[in-house]
Every structure is written in structure tokens, then in C-alpha cells.
Chain A
Amino acid sequence: MAGLELLSDQGYRVDGRRAGELRKIQARMGVFAQADGSAYIEQGNTKALAVVYGPHEIRGSRARALPDRALVNCQYSSATFSTGERKRRPHGDRKSCEMGLQLRQTFEAAILTQLHPRSQIDIYVQVLQADGGTYAACVNAATLAVLDAGIPMRDFVCACSAGFVDGTALADLSHVEEAAGGPQLALALLPASGQIALLEMDARLHEDHLERVLEAAAQAARDVHTLLDRVVRQHVREASILLGD
């Protein structure tokens, strides 16, 4: 392709990573004191905050209550200054609504909703800085926030994006790689069972290459799980120290 070369002849990307390498991930649980659960994550230059309230009584119309399980309510919002070009509105546009729906589907697959009938779990995700892989950062932050809130889950939900350039599958795309217009795959994985909570792809990709891209995304998601698990254990250890155990 013309213009920017996404993968050099030696196999390095624009920012110096190899094909299957993740960006630096840092995360923290318990960012806000007043929320039931909160978490903050940085994947490279993508920064996301997630906040969880609940389970609590249904807010708004009671007709939305489900008699056998909890209602998972998600809102995705990105700050107007989070992208290179300033956004007009933080939420309510088509992309935000779609992202909110995807997050809801993802977490309905993971949260044990049948334990809380006729109640509601709110998950609010806020993107502070966007540099590619936004959906993955939101899912990873929300997973940590749900765990921080103490809501029972079947498993972590670990997400990562993947792309395909010059016959090579790339993991954890940055904004430059996304803007180049090649195929992009977003995967949310329950790592213990290997089940997929959400799968989405755009642009064209030959079926022969799909397996490799999927495998690259799944491997990256498992790597993310290793890091998130470390963050959770660190948080639990600190909480135990504060409790005096």
C-alpha cells in the first residue's frame, strides 16, 4: 500500500513492536471512592475509566425489570478532547450507542445475572484518550471495575484487537494502524473456557487468513488476562493488608 509502511522488512511496526506484541498495559482498581466498583486502564496511549454501580433497584421504568435476572445497563462515553480532532458530543452519537450495546452483550455473557433478579447493574465507561483499541480498553477496564464491585462473574472478559498487514497478523492495533484501513478484528474472550463473548470485524479479509488473525487476537487476549490477573491479585493483597489479616 502507498504511504506509511506499517510493517518494516525486519518485522517491526511503526512504534517498534513486533507483530504479536502488546502495548504497555497499566491498570488500577478502586479509583473512585463513591462508586461501587471502579477501574482505570492504560493500553499504550489509550486510557479508559470504568465505573460500576449495583446491583440496585431498577431506575426509571419498572417495566424494564426482568423477573429472572438482572438488567445490565451500559453507557459508553468518550471525552470531547480524547481524539486528535475534537469531538462534538461525548455520547449519544451512533458510535457510542453501538459501543454501549456491544459492552452490554459482552458483560451479559460474563456476569451471573440470574443471581440478582429484578435488579440493575450499571456499567459506565469513559474514554479519556483514544489511540486505537478503544473497545478492548473499555472491556478490560469494565472487567476490573465489575470485579472491584464484587459482582459474581463466570470469568474475566479480556479483549484485544487484531489486524492483518502484508500476510502478517498484528495484535493490539494502534491508531495509526487502524487508520490505515486494513481489516480490524475485535475479540472479547473468556480465557479459562476459551469462549468468545464478542467478535466483530470490518474491511475485507480472506477466509484463509481469518484463522491466523483470530488466533493472534486470542493469544493477545490471554496475555491481557495474565496482566489483569496480576492487577487483581495485587489489589486484593493490598486490601487484605488494610484489613489487618
Chain B
Amino acid sequence: MASVTLSEAEKVYIVHGVQEDLRVDGRGCEDYRCVEVETDVVSNTSGSARVKLGHTDILVGVKAEMGTPKLEKPNEGYLEFFVDCSASATPEFEGRGGDDLGTEIANTLYRIFNNKSSVDLKTLCISPREHCWVLYVDVLLLECGGNLFDAISIAVKAALFNTRIPRVRVLEDEEGSKDIELSDDPYDCIRLSVENVPCIVTLCKIGYRHVVDATLQEEACSLASLLVSVTSKGVVTCMRKVGKGSLDPESIFEMMETGKRVGKVLHASLQSVVHKEESLGPKRQKVGFLG
């Protein structure tokens, strides 16, 4: 994990500020930093999104490829996650340095999407047992400013919302052999429903309080964190404790309640932003990394 070195005086300053509900950058304990979301950033992909959360910068690309359904679920497509911790974030990620963190984040994403309510995988089926769509969700971590899990989950949800899969028809002739025909119309495509895709809210225990959206410095002061994966209806789909400290059961319940409350607000904001961007259509001014 990318880390920052703090002196004891700096840590005490941060902890005391959190206990007074006044963080170093002036936020309250349940406030997020400014989040910027943009979709359709990379035109080579079926769907893409860029999220900038404070100094954390994430780029997600989704590529749809045709594959074979898995044996245990012949009527469904599936999602594959890969997290690339770019050396741009910190020199420690050079070469294989970022593999451990990337694997940890990818495993968390697998667990979040490992239930039938997150994404309707049956829509990705082309013909049962033979062909299906495989969505490769590739996360690129460009800058590390703390709170990676939240930023990555927001970017994945926005990228899945932006994903357009070409419509495929299965033609069957008299001899029984099947042909797969791709539609000629580039606008004839399948869109995924991301209504139930959850977002992660990370709650860091600092002192005897917990904060949302910790910066790198605040993460260095935190002994333990709780990842809560919340859908837009407030349903918790996954929970995980990270960090080397321990948590009291009472504070876990409080953190869960805070995570649910903050998660609903986060979902509402994200949904309104991506729908507004979508409604602009071709008139949208693409910014990407130039703005």
C-alpha cells in the first residue's frame, strides 16, 4: 500500500482534529472530498470512466469479448477484474511492486460482484453453454491520494453504466449449425443495468471516532478500517475489516450505520451525475486529463 511518513506531532494533530470533528482539510467526519467523474474517456473500450477523488486518480476500462460460459452457470456471462497499480502512483509500484495491492483490490471486487443481484449476468448470455459475453473490467490506478477502494468502486460502477455491448443474433439454418451475426448498426447495443451495483464506503477508525474518505495522512493515523459495500437501497452486500488494529463490536455497528447513510447519498449523487452526462449526448465537451 502506498504510504506516507508522519511524525508523532503530525499524527497527534490529525487525531485531535478528528476528535473535534474538524479534519486537517476542513471537512467533517462524514464528508467526502470533491469527486470528479467522467465516462467514455478511452474510445478503444466498450465502456470507460475516470474518477478523481481528491488526489486519487482512477481510470477503468471495460472490454467485452466473446467467451464460453462457465460449467456451473451455463446461462450466464461473467466479469473478470484486473487492477494495475501503475508506477505513476508511487515508485514502489515499479515492476511487480503493485501486484499485492492490485490482487487485494481485485479480490474485493470479485467478492462484491459475486451475488446475483449486482449485475444481471443472464443478459450477457448469447447461447446457453456455448457463447457468452465476458466483461473484462480493468482498473488502472494512476495516483494514490488515499481511499482507493471507494474511488475504484465508483469508477467501476460508472464504467459499467457506460458499457455498450454490440447486439448479437444467433442464426440457425436447416442443418442445425449456428451462426453468430453481429449487428451492423453501431448504436444497436445492450446496456447493463447498474441499479444494484454497490459502492464501497471505507470508514477509518481514528482515535475513538471514525471518518469517511480518509486521505493518505489520515490513513497513516488509522489502526483499522471497515469496508462496507452498499447498494443504492442501503443494502450491505459485503463487509471487510482491513488494517493491523482491532475494532470493538459496538463501533462496527456504528460504522455500518454511517456507511449505509453515506453510501445512499453517494449513490444518489453518482446516479444523477452520470445520467446528466449521458443526456448531453454528442454535445458533451470531453475533458479527459486535459482539464
Interface size on A, residues (CB 8 A): 36
Residues of A within 8 A of B48 (CB): 81
Chain A residues 14-56 with CB under 8 Å of chain B are 26, 28, 31-35, 38, 40, 42, 45, 47, 49, 51, 53
A81 touches B45 (CB 8 A): yes
Residues 58-102 of chain A: 1 if any B CB is under 8 Å from the residue's CB, otherwise 0? 010000000000000101010111111010001110000000000
A218, B288: Cα distance in complex, Å: 30
A-B Cβ contacts below 8 A, count: 102
Residues 265-291 of chain B: 1 if any A CB is under 8 Å from the residue's CB, otherwise 0? 000000000000000000000001110
- B: interface residue count bin: 20 to 34
Q: How far is the CB of A231 from chain B (nearest CB, A)?
A: 11
A59 touches B289 (CB 8 A): no
A128 touches B42 (CB 8 A): yes
A47 touches B143 (CB 8 A): no
A131, B82: Cα distance in complex, Å: 22
Q: How far is the CB of B282 from chain A (nearest CB, A)?
A: 17
B65 touches A86 (CB 8 A): yes
B136 touches A34 (CB 8 A): no
Say yes or no: A81-B138 contact (C-beta < 8 A), given A32-B143, A33-B55, A49-B289.
Answer: yes
Query: Residue on B with the closest CB to A59?
Result: B91
Q: Within 8 Å of chain A (Cβ to Cβ): is B87? A: yes
Taking a contact as CB atoms closer than 8 A, the residue among B43, B44, B88, B91 that contacts A126 in the complex is B88
CB-based closest 8 A-B pairs:
A81-B61, A51-B88, A124-B87, A40-B289, A80-B138, A90-B84, A86-B63, A32-B143
Extra pairs beyond A122-B91, A128-B41 (8, CB < 8 Å): A32-B57, A34-B143, A51-B88, A75-B87, A75-B94, A86-B65, A86-B138, A90-B84
